[in-house]
């Protein structure tokens, strides 16, 4: 029997794995793919975004609460997960406000990337998922997550870089999440409006910056049947996700009908593949798959 395919998703905070690519991961887990989520920070500086959870005892213990939420989401998705050990940088209200000393976003690149390089060499993923170079949105931790993901993709296979962090391993493909595209929200807005549901997306779309999209969608993974798993994983992050809020305004059945995929940009590939793709492992499945280190 050939070794299983392996997928690594690199995220900034607990809950990011459930809002970006969760249904994709659930689908691949169901197909027998080994999936590992690497969470860069503990989300220690995250705000409580669900008013039902905004209580003093939770705020005072937010780091532990978010770890517990991450564990519940991990179980729902069926993935493995590890924290890389950095401290949440927070999101300054004012761009001129300095970031907290010692936070993830202020680490030197080689310091920030080292735990991820070690994880890549241990887990030996064939594919890595991360954010684009704008972080998906300009949170300093998301931008740093992109930087260390690119660094690990390029360095983990080089025996001369990051010595002492395990046997070299070269991932084959690197993808950026593209789930928050204007096209997707326009399609959902149109469908909700046509059904008289009252779309919340109109003002948001109107404010969308009028500029060419930086990264094209190259890969659409069909995973509509796993949207229910995604939603349960989201709800596990109870401090961050309001069950009556943005994530659940559009009925799941309508999402499955109108936009049944999660979307990605292929940023790096060391295997031949034909675009557009419908599989993150396109070009890899036919290759000899090496086992993970024991």
DSSP for 97-139 reads SPPPTT-GGGS-HHHHHHHHHHHHHHH--SEEEE--TT-SS--
DSSP for 203-265 reads HHHHTS--S--SS---EEEE-GGGHHHHHHHHHH-TTT--TTSGGGSS-HHHHHHH--EEEEE
Tokens of 41: 């920070």
How crowded is the C-beta side of 180, counted as CA atoms within 13 Å? Answer: 14
Is 133 annotated to bind ligand?
no
Is 13 annotated to bind ligand?
yes
Strand, helix or coil for residue 63: helix
Is 134 annotated to bind ligand?
no
Q: Which of 168, 169, 130, 135 minimizes the C-alpha distance to 150?
A: 130
Q: Which of 9, 15, 12 minimizes the C-alpha distance to 176?
A: 9
223 neighbors 260 (Cβ within 8 angstroms): yes
Give the H/E segment covering residue 84: strand 80-86
Tokens of 47: 């705000």
> What one-character DSSP code corresponds to residue 292?
P
Give the H/E segment covering residue 82: strand 80-86
Binding-site residue numbers for Zn(2+) are: 13, 16, 142
Residue list for the binding site? 13, 16, 142
């Amino acid at each position: 029997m050939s070794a299983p395919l392996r997928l690594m998703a690199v995220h900034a905070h607990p809950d990011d794995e459930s809002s970006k690519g969760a249904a994709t991961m659930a689908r691949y887990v169901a197909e027998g793919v080994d999936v590992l989520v690497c969470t860069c920070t503990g989300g220690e500086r995250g705000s409580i975004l669900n008013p039902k959870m905004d209580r003093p005892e939770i705020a005072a213990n937010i780091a532990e609460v978010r770890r517990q939420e991450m564990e519940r989401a991990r179980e729902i998705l069926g993935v493995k997960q590890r924290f890389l050990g950095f401290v949440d940088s927070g999101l300054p209200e004012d761009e001129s406000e300095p970031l907290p000393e010692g936070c993830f976003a202020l680490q030197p690149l080689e310091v920030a990337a080292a735990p991820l390089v070690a994880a890549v060499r241990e887990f030996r993923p064939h594919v890595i998922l991360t954010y684009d170079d704008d972080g998906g949105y300009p949170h300093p931790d998301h931008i740093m997550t992109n930087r260390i993901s690119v660094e690990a993709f390029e360095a983990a296979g080089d025996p001369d870089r990051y010595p002492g962090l395990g046997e070299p391993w070269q991932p084959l493909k690197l993808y950026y999440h593209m789930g928050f595209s204007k096209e997707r929200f326009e399609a959902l807005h149109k469908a909700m409006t046509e059904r008289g549901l009252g779309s919340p997306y109109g003002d948001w779309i109107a404010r969308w910056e009028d500029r060419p999209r930086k990264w094209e969608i190259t890969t659409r993974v069909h995973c509509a049947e796993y949207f229910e798993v995604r939603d349960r994983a989201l709800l596990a992050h109870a401090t961050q996700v309001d069950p009556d809020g943005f994530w659940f305004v559009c009925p799941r059945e309508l999402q499955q009908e109108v936009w049944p995929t999660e979307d990605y940009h292929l940023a790096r590939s060391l295997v031949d593949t034909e675009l557009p793709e419908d599989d993150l492992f396109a070009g890899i499945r036919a290759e000899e798959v090496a086992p993970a280190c024991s």
